[in-house]
Amino acid sequence: MVGDIMKRIDIAKDFSDTPLGRYPTDSPVSGERFREELLCPALKDNDSVTVVIDGAEGYGSSFLDEAFGGLVRKGYYSADQLEQLLKIECNDPEYVIYKSLIWKYIKEARKK
């Protein structure tokens, strides 16, 4: 759509290639920190955000749940809004499972 502002966040390049943990007390590259410092501001300032998950050493569910499910739990966005705003991109088959996990956490967080 003309005029839409799109932001692209590459987790491995823009945040860390070894993201881990749920809270900042767990690690300096935790899910909460990613959500608060990169994801939320990007979602607030843009019409859509693409998060590239390729390239990281791997993700724990705790990181993904806090980073993405936390958006719903903290009341920033509903799962329906995120379906419109957020796009998860992965080209490497190793990361396909994380894409499914992210949407699982977003949808499950809605139920809470």
Contacts of 32 (CB under 8 A, 6+ apart): 22, 23, 24, 66, 67, 70
When binding is defined by CB under 8 A, the residue of 20, 40, 52, 79 that contacts other proteins is 20
**C-beta separation of 13 from 55 below 8 A:** yes
Beta carbon of residue 3, minimum distance to other proteins (angstroms, whole number): 35
The size of the interface with other proteins (CB under 8 A), counted in residues, is 25
Beta carbon of residue 61, minimum distance to other proteins (angstroms, whole number): 4
When binding is defined by CB under 8 A, the residue of 17, 47, 83, 96 that contacts other proteins is 96
Please tell me whether residue 98 binds other proteins under the rule CB under 8 A: yes
State which of positions 25-54 bind other proteins (CB under 8 A).
25-27
Q: Which residues bind other proteins (CB under 8 A)?
A: 20-23, 25-27, 57-63, 65, 92-98, 100-101, 104
